[in-house]
Amino acid sequence: MQRFQPWLTELWLIGTATLLVWLPFNWFGYGAEFLIVALAAYLAWHLYQLRQFVFWLSQNARAVPDNVPGVWHEIYHQIYLAQKRRRRTKRRLTQIIGEFRDSTNALHDAAVTLGSYGEIIWFNHAARELLGLRTPQDVGQRISNLLRHPKFVEFEARSESEAVLEIPSPLDVNLTLSFQILPYRQGQRLLMVRDVTRVHKLEQMRQDFVANVSHELRTPITVLMGYLETLSSGGEEKLGRYARPVSQMQQQALRMRAIVDDLLLLSRLDTEHNRLKYEPVDVPALLKTMADDARVLSGNQQHEIQTELDDNLGLMAAPKELQSAFGNLIANAVRYTPAGGQVTLRWQCEPGGGARFEVVDTGPGIEAQHLPRLTERFYRVDAGRSREVGGTGLGLAIVKHVLERHGARLQISSTVGVGSRFACLFPASVITVLKR
Ligand code: ADP
Average pLDDT over residues 54-66: 84
CB 377 within 8 A of CB 388: no
Q: Is the CB of 423 under 6 A from ligand 1?
A: no
Sign of CA dihedral 347, 351, 354, 359: negative
**At 276, is the pLDDT very low, low, confident or very high (cuts 50, 70, 90)?**
confident
**DSSP letter, residue 32:** H
Does residue 308 carry a pLDDT above 90? yes
Q: Is the CB of 381 under 6 A from ligand 1?
A: yes
Return the pLDDT at 409.
Answer: 96
**At 51, is the pLDDT very low, low, confident or very high (cuts 50, 70, 90)?**
very high
Which are the contacts of 87, defined by CB distance < 8 A and separation ≥ 6? none
Share of the chain above pLDDT 90, in %: 71
Ligand 1 pocket test, pick from 266, 324, 332 with the greatest ligand atom count within 8 Å of Cβ, gives 332
Residue with the smallest CA separation from ligand 1 atom 20 is: 332
CB 390 within 8 A of CB 411: no
pLDDT tens digits for 91-128?
999 999 999 889 988 999 999 999 999 999 999 999 99
pTM tops 0.85 = no
pLDDT tens digits for 184-232?
888 899 999 999 999 999 988 998 999 999 999 999 999 999 999 998 8
Q: Is the CB of 361 under 6 A from ligand 1?
A: yes
Residue with the smallest CA separation from ligand 1 atom 11 is: 380
Q: How many other CB atoms are found less than 10 A from the CB of residue 97?
A: 10
Rounded-to-integer distance, Cα 411 and Cα 339, Å: 25
Average pLDDT over residues 50-56: 92
SS3 106: helix
Mean of pLDDT over the chain: 91
Locate the ligand 1 atom nearest the alpha carbon of residue 363 and give its number: 24
**In 3-state terms, the chain is what percent helix, strand and coil (to 5)?**
55, 20, 25
Q: Is the CB of 363 under 6 A from ligand 1?
A: yes
| Secondary element (H or E) of residue 342 | strand 342-349
Give strand pairing partners of 360. Answer: 344, 421
Rounded-to-integer distance, Cα 97 and Cα 8, Å: 45
Return the pLDDT at 127.
Answer: 95
Rounded-to-integer distance, Cα 73 and Cα 56, Å: 12
Sign of CA dihedral 168, 171, 172, 175: negative
Locate the ligand 1 atom nearest the alpha carbon of residue 391 and give its number: 2
pLDDT tens digits for 118-173?
999 999 999 999 999 998 899 999 999 999 999 999 999 887 777 899 999 999 99
Ligand 1 pocket test, pick from 259, 305, 374 with the greatest ligand atom count within 8 Å of Cβ, gives 374
Does residue 352 carry a pLDDT above 90? no
Sign of CA dihedral 74, 79, 82, 83: negative
pLDDT tens digits for 243-252?
889 999 999 9
